[in-house]
Amino acid sequence: MSSERLDKIISSQLNISRKEARAGIRGGAALVNGAAVKIADYRLDPERDSVVYNGSEVIYKKYIYIVMNKPKGVISASEDNSRKTVIDLLPDRLKRRGLFPVGRLDRDTTGLLIITDDGDFAHRVLSPAKQIYKTYIAELDGPVTGETLDFFSREITLRDGTVCRMAYLKRLGERRAEIRICEGKYHQIKRMFGEAGLGVTELERRAVGGYELPGFLARGECIEIKKNELEPIFRNQQKSINA
């Protein structure tokens, strides 16, 4: 790996500003391979060299991947001046600079949300060319009928002229359905059901591609996982959708 500046490493891994990191380094808070280093732009290989800051070892991770079971009432954003965000819910041990949610869930939508600081990974997930399907469970204010299923079996044009690709709808109960879409237009699922004469009372995302929300995660909880554990996202879902 190419070398990195000491202040950048400390700042990125410990969720502090570069200014704070530089001040700490100049004050003697940093050790590299056991020796004190007071030069903020000192360069090292973070995957080979050891760094201790304020007495604690800095465990270097180039990127971090977090899976959250998003609760209601928080927005899918990195920061907001007045409303609580999903980043605010993270425990201190997982917070670091540059984190953002991969995609968006509406404020009152719950379920699977991935948070990372890996822009290339996020682009792969969100790229329209990948056609990665997201699976949701919707609770509705009316019955799911044969006409409803037929309505969702083709492209849907919303009232403002927005065209949505065909979704895959499965009836789970009289007023409960599973829906899979590969787009992420504004309030898309609620608007699509609205065109079918139904209101969505609850909406939960259960899966992105082939990666499913872990069943042990309660609302508002999150876990850090390895990147390779998210690879099921990119498996071709078309076969299982049409089955």
Helical H runs in 142-207?
A: 146-151, 188-195
Residue 25 and residue 38 in contact, taking contact as beta carbons nearer than 8 Å: yes
Could you confirm whether 118 is annotated as catalytic? no
Query: What is the distance, to the nearest Å, from the Cα of residue 107 to the centroid of all Cα atoms in its chain?
Result: 14
How are beta strands 200-208 and 110-116 bridged, if at all?
Answer: parallel
- SS3 at position 73: coil
Catalytic residue among 49, 106, 117, 160: 106
DSSP string, 106-156: -TT-EEEEEEES-HHHHHHHH-GGG---EEEEEEESS---HHHHHHTTS-E
Residue 54 and residue 24 in contact, taking contact as beta carbons nearer than 8 Å: yes
Which residues are designated catalytic? 106
